[in-house]
């Protein structure tokens, strides 16, 4: 399971990196909105993630 999780996390990281670059080059896009969505999604993901036993 660990290699699959690492690939998924790497994919998410790449998407975040591309989106951040897009936000810098496009003045009509709100960087604050995207970053707060990222943080909110991360917190919700941590709250809903299954607990390790």
Q: φ, ψ for residue 17 (rounded to 5)?
A: -60, -45
Contact 22, 29 (CB under 8 A): yes
State pLDDT tens for residues 3-53. 888 999 899 999 989 988 888 888 887 888 888 998 999 999 999 988 877
Stated pTM of the model = 0.64
Residue-level pLDDT at 18 = 93
Secondary structure of 4-48 as H, E, C letters: HHHHHHHHHHHHHHHHHHHHHHCCCCCHHHHHHHHHHHHHHHHHH
Residue-range domain boundaries for the chain: 2-48
End-to-end, the C-alpha distance of the chain in Å comes to: 15
Alpha-carbon gap, residue 15 to 47, rounded angstroms: 22
User: What is the reported pLDDT for 1?
Assistant: 66
pLDDT of residue 15: 93
């Amino acid at each position: 399971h660990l290699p699959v999780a690492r690939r998924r996390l790497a994919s998410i990281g790449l998407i975040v990196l591309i989106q951040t670059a897009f936000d810098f080059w496009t003045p009509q896009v709100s960087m604050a909105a995207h970053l707060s969505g990222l943080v909110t999604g991360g917190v919700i993901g941590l709250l809903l993630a299954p607990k390790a036993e």
